[in-house]
Amino acid sequence: MISWFEKHNALSWAITILIAIFIFYFSMLTFEGVGGDGGIKNWMSIVYHIVIFFFLSLFLFISLIKGKSNSKLFLFVILVLISYGVLDEIHQFFVQGKFCTVVDVFFDLIGILFAFMVYLILLKQKKL
């Protein structure tokens, strides 16, 4: 499946951009009860950050790496993704009812690293 997206690079880029727009859009919305109350909505926020950044990362890896094992390119992609997570939090600082937290960037990082590991495993399986 990864090979298919690598061959259809325009589609993987389109999905990557759509996910980034989705993240930006949801950063503008406020949800009642979210904001560190420790309840179920807080858990939904944690899961959202991990899952959405997992998919953003996976499709950005597919779009830029395209099956090559280049450690500098991997590092560049990871730094771009972390930067996007930080910029997303800065954006939320200016949205009424939203919070800018380092904790959210940490959960974004978990999603990024999980996608990185999955992509590396898929690359190794593809080469076998």
Cβ atoms of residues 13 and 64 within 8 Å: no
Upper half-sphere CA count for residue 2 (Cβ side, 13 Å)? 22
- For residue 56, give the nearest of 6, 95, 18 by alpha carbon: 18
- 66 vs 14: which has the higher pLDDT: 14
53, 35, 103, 111: CA torsion to nearest 10 = -20
Compute the chain's Rg from CA coordinates.
16
For the entire predicted model, the pTM comes to 0.86
Distance, in Å, from the CA atom of 69 to the CA atom of 61, rounded to the nearest integer, reads 11
**pLDDT digits over 74-97, tens only?**
999 999 999 999 999 999 998 888
**pLDDT digits over 29-81, tens only?**
876 655 555 544 588 889 999 999 999 999 999 999 887 777 899 999 999 99
Domain boundaries, the chain: 2-28+49-127
